[in-house]
Structure 1
Amino acid sequence: MSRTDACEELKLDNQLCFALYSTSLLMTKIYKPLLQAVGLTYPQYLAMLVLWEGDGITVGDLSGRLLTDPGSVTPLLKRLEGIGLITRTRSSSDERVVELHVTEAGWALRKQAEAFPLCIVEASGQSVEELLALKDQLVTLRSNFRNAL
């Protein structure tokens, strides 16, 4: 066997990690023009999705939902505050805690973003039901990976 004879398990196209990675890259490219039209990056959009669900949450809550470190979301939140979509205030009961609130401009942006999910469904070429089943599988996979750590 030559060194270039790859075993099937190590071929790129047989890797779950590459299927997930490359699909994520392409999905982000689909989102890019939608988000550019409203002045957001993809990570900012994810943060706004969480804030639209729970206005007044803390930085810790947001980072937990996004599966990131609180320190890594701080620059993103500063930019969102700088463009007037959110406010950051210290908690009156614990000044170490920063609470996040959506501004009127942030709520207006939500109205524009309501069209995004349909754009993603259309680009996928799949039904809503198929996409929901896939999302459920991915959430289970993510949970299993978290439990394995």
Structure 2
Amino acid sequence: MAKGVLAELVSRRQTVATAESLTAGLVCATLTEVSGASAVVRGGLVVYATDLKAALADVDPDLLARHGAVHPEVAAQLAEGGRGRCGADWGIGLTGVAGPAEQDGIGPGTVHIGLAGPEVRTVRTHWFEGDRAQVRAASVRAALELLREHLR
């Protein structure tokens, strides 16, 4: 799927960046495993710690204080922050709970994926089953699917 997303970005002459929490850079790493990715992948922010979401990805500190790090609007702001900080056409933001335990009352497998791009700002929420690695892998796939959907 990464290969197809990258090909579409190349054909559109557009770029992508990520701001990732629970996936800690896996989306960006997945994209850059494909030869030629440097033509369209601008970079990524790993904002695992809550304070870094605000400091590096420009997530509203008041939003984080009110709702915590795992919230749909946080994912949207991560996408916008990654896009802006890296100077990309598209931004993907991910936040969630990989497990095995809940975080701030939010169950494992809860994942919010934000996408920001030309005239696009959307968030999709998922509830994935499985262990930590499975939740993170499913999150990467879902993020790439969301971008691919909006590129078509």
- Above 0.5 in TM-score? no
Q: TM-score range by the shorter chain?
A: under 0.3
Q: Whose strand fraction is larger, Structure 1's or Structure 2's?
A: 2
| TM value normalised by structure 1 | 0.25
Return the structure number with greater relative CO, CA threshold 8 A, min gap 6: 2
> Which structure has the bigger radius of gyration?
1
